[in-house]
């Protein structure tokens, strides 16, 4: 069955060397990151994989309790907040919700009349 997947795709995506090459590319990128940032990335990826694995088909009840789901959301929020702190950049594309103070200002430009 695994042979069919690799042969059908016509690529070496499933070969052991492709996995090693992909890992070495990730290592090259991760050398630029701090250990803490690499840990955060790995934890986020593993947590997302766990969520995908336990997510039931539509119409089926979740095996997780509502408290556990809320805790997982909290973990993702903490990971994202720390990654933002480590990057040192603010994301201007994040929407502003009611009750929050906008950090940007809209300025109207009017063409001067001749």
- pLDDT at position 96 over 70: no
Least confident range from 28-32, 39-43, 57-61, 64-68: namely 28-32
Domain ranges in the chain? 1-32, 33-55+62-88
What is the distance of C-alpha 10 from the center of its chain?
29
Predicted local distance difference test score (pLDDT) of residue 28: 52
User: Do the beta carbons of residue 34 and residue 86 sit within 8 Å?
Assistant: yes
- pLDDT at position 56 over 70: yes
Query: Measured in Å, how far apart are the chain's first and last C-alpha atoms?
Result: 76
Location of structure tokens 């430009």: 109
CA 95 → CA 98, 100, 103, 104, distances in Å?
A: 10, 10, 10, 11
- Confidence category of residue 8, pLDDT binned at 50, 70, 90: very low
């Amino acid at each position: 069955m695994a042979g069919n997947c690799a042969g059908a795709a016509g690529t070496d995506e499933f070969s052991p060397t492709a996995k090693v090459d992909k890992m070495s590319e990730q290592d090259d990128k991760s050398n630029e990151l701090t250990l803490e940032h690499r840990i955060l990335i790995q934890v986020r990826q593993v947590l997302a994989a766990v969520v995908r694995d336990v997510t039931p088909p539509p119409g089926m009840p979740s095996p997780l309790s509502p408290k556990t789901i809320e805790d997982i959301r909290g973990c993702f929020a903490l990971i994202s907040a720390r990654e933002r702190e480590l990057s040192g950049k603010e994301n201007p594309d994040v929407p502003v919700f009611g009750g929050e103070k906008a950090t940007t200002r809209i300025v109207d430009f009017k063409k001067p009349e001749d």
